[in-house]
A and B are shown apart, each in its own frame.
Chain A
Amino acid sequence: MTARAFDAGSVADARAAIPSPWRRAWTANGPGYMFLLPWFIGFFGLTVGPILISLYLSFTNFDLLTAPQWTGFDNYARMFTADPKFIASMRVTFLFVVFSVPLKLAFALCVALVLNRGMKGLPIYRAVFYLPSLLGASVAIAVLWRRLFAGDGLVNEALAMIGIQGPAWISNPRFSLWTLVILAVWQFGSPMIIFLAGLRQIPQDLYEAADIDGASRWRKFWKITLPLLTPVVFFNAIIQTIEGFKSFTPAFIISGGTGNPINSTLFYTLYLYQEAFGFLRMGYASALAWVLLAIIAAFTAFSFLTSRYWVHYED
């Protein structure tokens, strides 16, 4: 060990003896940049570069076999004026996000509140509710879901036991999307964990002070819990919304890759996949991707801007 230290020391001495600005800058910044090298390669090669290239491709027709042909705004024009599938997939994805995210957060918050009362068996309940989140995105679960909600599946059998004649969920365009919403909400465990952590961060003395003032449980929730939880709600809402927009596997498996019946399960990513890899219309698919990026960026910006009105950060 001492031999090493001696080496490093002598090198350091030598360096200190020649303090050129370049060398100093290098010694100062060098290690940082060296450690970041893998990330830099990935960032420019796999993120920034592709983003710019896909922007370019969105203005072309590109089928992978021949060079891209410039078509200007044709792709975007077609998307908004002559593509009923685009409209359908937008509508479907929006409906999915608008319904599944609030429901998911509501369940997550409610269960977190119940669990936070310090019940016996908390770890077990927490684990049970979290497990679906881990498994939910897999092909196996999507396959299971497809069977459960089939016309003669478990769900309808259960409904029949209480006298309700269930529809053929999966093959009926009115209901097929809801099976996917239910699947998403089933995975509320992940935001629930975050809510639990957030709840635990709220200082107990606030509640004790409220108790002294004689506040009811409801008041305590509205005036203490919820306001202090808003950062977590905000965080969860953004993450879950973005995840919702990226959803692919369940829609793919449940509809057999078609997005049917009548495009009622045509999630945006599924449509993009069909255009890119089903029909090799890579230019159009790139345009689709950019529209999605624009929407998510607008949503995120909007959320951050309006967050100051309802998110209370504890200072």
Chain B
Amino acid sequence: MPVTTTAASVADDPRRPWRKRIISVVAHVVLIAASILMLYPLLWMLAASFRPEREIFSSTSLIPSAVTLNGYISGWHGLPLSFGTFFINSFTISVLCIIGNLAACSMTAFAFARLNFRGKRFWFALMLGTLMLPYQVTLIPQYVLFLKLGWVNTFLPLVVPKYLASDAFFTFLMVQFFRGIPKELDEAAQMDGCSPWRIYYKVLLPLSVPVLTTAAIFTFIFTWDDFFGPLIYLNDIKTYTVALALRNFVDSTGISNWSGLFAMSVLSLVPVFVFFLFFQRLLIEGIATTGMKR
């Protein structure tokens, strides 16, 4: 067998450890530069929200010369209703959606993962199929339906579908997770005479805290950022979510209050960012499992 000296073997050659060091350092430098570039827009907006209005567009540096809360104060009251209302609205919708998703998707996932019934594979395939369905095709009839029900201009069209397990993504996530829980636990409970409901409720759910938390956080982030749904269903400024309010802000005060706009934008991103900080491991693992082979 010919001994070929290649770059890889040279790099791993214990006699030349510095080569590996250099590659590692270069990699780090590139990654750090890329990180800064990726985060720069966010940092800039954060800095701009604390800057005096006239300075916002005259400097690219991240450190403001004078820190002021003026943007936050003027932005909070920049619309006819204070942003407090909008944050409460967004929060309410998100919480209601989380409860709906957790309840309905876990029930659905339990059925697919643990119960046997005729047509199971058929329905499961259909459910997965809805993952790829573009929402545009159900949009208009859903709107007409909600209009006839008198639900337009309330939170209901945004919240009720979650209670009907409309988010196949989370059902899928939970099915994967449930499959990882040993079936012996189910069987033991069954021998104790537990009904399927009790198995679901007392055995599976308590063990599913990780996936439930992941689903809750993702639901929060998706609904918090949701713009299209509120755009078509919420007409009255009293019902606006933060996303809608921000867009209104851009339209009505236009370019005359950038610091206010950026301040409110920063605030709107804070909840998502906070969840990210504390739960990033869960989020990342959640995403990763969806890429696993089915």
User: Do A and B come into direct contact in the complex, CB within 8 Å?
Assistant: yes
Q: Is B68 an interface position by the 8 A CB rule?
A: no
In the complex, A196 has a CB within 8 A of chain B: yes
Binding site for A on B (CB under 8 A): 1-4, 6-9, 24, 27-28, 30-31, 34-35, 38-39, 41-42, 44-45, 57, 60, 104, 107-108, 110-111, 115-118, 120, 123, 126-127, 130, 132-145, 147, 161, 163-166, 171, 192-197, 200, 221, 225, 227-228, 231-232, 243-244, 246-247, 250-251, 258, 261-262, 264-266, 268-269, 272-273, 276, 280-281, 283-284, 287-293
Report B-chain residues with C-beta under 8 Å of the C-beta of A119: 24, 27-28, 31
* 15 cross-chain CB contacts under 8 A: A25-B118, A31-B115, A31-B195, A47-B133, A50-B137, A129-B34, A138-B269, A140-B264, A143-B265, A147-B258, A152-B57, A193-B291, A214-B1, A214-B3, A231-B293
Query: Once bound together, how far apart are the Cα atoms of A41 and B127, in whole Å?
Result: 13
Residues 241-273 of chain A: 1 if any B CB is under 8 Å from the residue's CB, otherwise 0?
Answer: 010011011001100100000000000110011
| Chain A hits for B140, CB < 8 A | 50, 54, 57, 276, 282, 285-286, 289
* Contact residues in A for B200 (Cβ distance below 8 Å): 35
**Candidates A7, A201, A253, A300; contact of B132 at CB < 8 Å:** A300
Bound CA–CA A255/B104 (angstroms): 38
Report which of B28, B39, B164 forms a contact with A42, defined as CB distance below 8 A: B164
Contacts of A135 in B (CB 8 A): 42, 225, 269, 272-273
In the complex where A32-B120, A248-B227 touch, is A269 in contact with B136 (Cβ < 8 A)? yes
Residues in B with CB closer than 8 Å to A245 are: 134
Interface contacts (Cβ under 8 Å), in number, total 279
| Whole-angstrom distance between the Cβ of A288 and the nearest chain B Cβ | 8
- Chain B binder among A78-86, A120-128, A167-175: A120-128
- Asked if residues B132 and A242 are in contact (CB atoms below 8 Å), the reply is yes
Residue of A28, A135, A232, A245 with highest tally of chain B CB at under 10 A: A135
Q: A42 to B142, alpha carbons, bound, how many Å?
A: 11
Known: A114-B27, A138-B243, A154-B44. A197 touches B291 (CB 8 A): yes
Contact call A4/B293, Cβ cutoff below 8 A: no
Neighbouring B residues of A115 by C-beta, 8 Å: 31
Do A292 and B35 have beta carbons less than 8 Å apart? Answer: no
A305 contacts the other chain (CB 8 A): no
The contact string, 1 if C-beta is below 8 Å from chain B, for chain A 47-80, is: 1011101100100000010000000000000000
C-alpha spacing A268/B135, complex, angstroms: 13
Q: Which of A98-149 contact B (CB under 8 A)?
A: 111, 114-115, 117, 119, 121, 123, 125-132, 134-135, 137-141, 143-145, 147-148
Instruction: Please name the residue on chain B nearest to A8 by beta carbon.
Output: B193
Q: Which residue, A38, A148, A201, A211, has most C-beta atoms of chain B within 10 A?
A: A38
Would you call A162 an interface residue if the criterion is a C-beta within 8 Å of the partner chain's C-beta atoms? no
Which of B38, B135, B246 is close to A132, meaning CB atoms less than 8 Å apart? Answer: B38
Contact A50 B3 (CB under 8 A): no
CA–CA, A138 and B264, complex, Å: 13
Contact B111 A32 (CB under 8 A): yes
Nearest 8 CB-CB pairs, A to B?
Answer: A42-B164, A32-B117, A194-B291, A8-B193, A140-B265, A197-B288, A50-B141, A35-B111
Give the distance to chain A from B51, nearest Cβ to Cβ, in Å.
13
Known: A47-B133, A125-B31, A127-B280. A54 touches B38 (CB 8 A): no
Chain A residue with Cβ nearest B281: A123
What is the CB-to-nearest-CB distance from A76 to chain B, in angstroms, rounded to a whole number? 15
The 8 Å CB contact of A140, one of B111, B123, B126, B266, is B266
Q: Is the CB of A313 within 8 A of B293?
A: yes
* A39–B164 CB distance below 8 A: yes
CA A264 to CA B2, docked complex, whole Å: 59
